[in-house]
Amino acid sequence: MTTSATTADESPWWQKAVVYQVYPRSFADSDGDGVGDLRGIIDHLDHIARLGVDVIWLSPVYRSPMDDNGYDISDYEDIDPLFGDLATFDELVAGIHARGMRLMMDLVVNHTSDEHPWFVASRSSPLAPQRDWYVWRPPREGFEAGAPGAEPNNWESFFSGPAWELDEASGEYYLHLFSRKQPDLDWENPAVRGAVHAMMRRWLERGVDGFRMDVINLISKVPGLPDGVVHATSASGSPLGDGAPFVTNGPRIHEFLREMNEAVWADRSAPDLPLVTVGEMPGSTVEEARLYTDPARHELDMVFTFEHVGLDQGRTKFDRLPLRVSRLKQVLARWQDGLAEVGWNSLYWGNHDQPRAVSRFGDDAAYRVLSAKLLATVLHLHRGTPYVYQGEELGMPNAGFARIEDYRDIESLNHHREATASGVAPGDVLAALQWIGRDNARTPMPWDDGPQAGFTTGTPWLRLTPGHEQVNAAAAWADPDSVLHHYRHLVALRHHEPAVSHGDFALLAPDDEILWAFTRQLGSTRLLVVANLSGADLDVSAVTDGWRAAEVISTNYAASKGDWSGTTLRPWEAVVLRRTA
């Protein structure tokens, strides 16, 4: 499997960049209320800058009731007091720019909070001017409002239960693909689109350098909102269907994105333009991503693929399947191939919605440090823009909370309630949450081995990850062989070796379940990446033949680069070789 790539010359800056995601409520608390805030981020900007990254992606800090930790926005143009205020935000922007980095805001416009003034006005009356800013429908024909099965269609919410909520005052239902407190905007209405565009322009005027667009490929729904294939039953006994095919990459999505480009920024063709956009696009294929990121189409710079983080899941994310390494690397290689000539990849193992990478794909026990470094090496040596989620640079494992009382995530709590009500053993539900639940990645950032890991002087909003006394930023900076210093090395390698950012990609040994090997080539420079995803020695002589005299430019073992045998990888060892033809 081989891909070709264009030259690194004249390429947009973000193709050589690395992004660091900050989840504000869990990053650093400056005022002792137990919740991270903007001042806490400002106080720790040097930690991020020292990693060498180029962009900070800031998860939502807008005003919000916090039903979904800020992804339910009640005011797009103000900062929630939990995090600070606009003056502090301006200080954060200035601090980021002063350190040579850029700021990418989270843009959540598929839905708002039900407390947003737009929805309050929409809900006030069926005749309200803003009624059609959201997706309202009467009960299903032949049913009374509120009766089981009366919802306008059978769609299931991504957060469990029906995707419709009854407004008793009007007798109509509103659509919420996520929480009932997150009503979906109706993007068919040009007034909605215009309001969103104006809001985006004002953030750019404030110094923001781009947007990460939350579930942006869900904003165009299929007209008529037809029933989906039934696969579940609600708590009331109503059949629930899969609405995803009717909301994912809908009929007008490309039109909406092109219109956004024209309305928000006029010319995005210059390579040094500071702006960057990335779309979170669950359910998208390589072919669709190629359309979204084709520069000639003026839609998005890059997209998040979800295919690789769904390989170990069944019908729902909580149904665990065995992970085959061969499938994982083949999927990523297919995305490399599909976006080689046109388009661009986002590279990530984890984020605020995914469990910790070292627990999911590595060995978070005996080989936590080595496997965390290996996973970083493999990912950062692919072609695309890598994303580092806070704490990933420390090799943080899953929290693995054993009591439901310790969880705060609405998705996890809803799943626990629904699953136990349907007869699933509580222990089995907790086991699934310990593996895949979103709170695994949302625990507070451990800064040192002191009380509350230096995150807060108060009581943290979510329990700390066990082992924070050893796995923390202070310890990582002090240890030259830490996961953190390996991330610094990989970021620098991407910046200084054009073959990393723009080289051709070729996957080797695609069916091997232990060895991950591939080459990158740009001009006369060729790189070979070999990684052993096991706890035993691995003979790799079949793929390293001809590379014995090559330079070792990266290794995740503490031993000097010259100690690698050239034929055998030690447990969870990853090596990068370079030669010039």
Catalytic positions: 214, 280
- 114 token code pair: 């039900």
Dist. CA 466–CA 371, nearest whole Å: 19
Q: Specify the amino acid at residue 447.
A: W
For residues 428-461, one letter each, b for 16 or more C-beta atoms within 10 angstroms of the residue's C-beta and e for the rest, the string is: ebbebbbbbbbbbbbbbbbbeeeebbbbbeeebb
Dist. CA 113–CA 72, nearest whole Å: 4
Contact 211, 235 (CB under 8 A): no
Residue identified by tokens 């009731």 is: 65
Torsion of CA 269, 288, 102, 487, to 10 degrees: -130
φ and ψ at 283, to 5 degrees? 85, 5
Dist. CA 208–CA 136, nearest whole Å: 33
Q: Report the relative pairing of strands 276-280 and 210-213 from DSSP bridges.
A: parallel
Is the backbone of residue 156 left (phi > 0), alpha (psi -120 to 50) or beta? Answer: beta
Q: In what order do the strands lie in the sheet with 136-137?
A: 136-137, 172-175, 164-167
Q: Specify the amino acid at residue 189.
A: N
Dist. CA 494–CA 349, nearest whole Å: 17
Is the backbone of residue 567 left (phi > 0), alpha (psi -120 to 50) or beta? Answer: alpha
DSSP-derived letter for residue 445 is P
- 539 token code pair: 């003979």
Residue identified by tokens 């000639």 is: 296
Q: In what order do the strands lie in the sheet with 515-522?
A: 2-3, 504-508, 515-522, 525-532, 574-580, 551-555
- 83: helix, strand or coil: coil
Strand intervals (E) in 342-407: 346-347, 385-389
Contact 326, 335 (CB under 8 A): no
HEC profile for 487-524? HHHHHHHHHHCHHHHHCEEEEECCCCCCEEEEEEEECC
Upper half-sphere CA count for residue 540 (Cβ side, 13 Å): 35
Contact 397, 364 (CB under 8 A): yes
φ and ψ at 57, to 5 degrees? -95, 120
Instruction: Name residue 111's beta-bridge partners.
Output: 184
Q: Specify the amino acid at residue 236.
A: S
DSSP-derived letter for residue 379 is H
Contact 173, 164 (CB under 8 A): yes
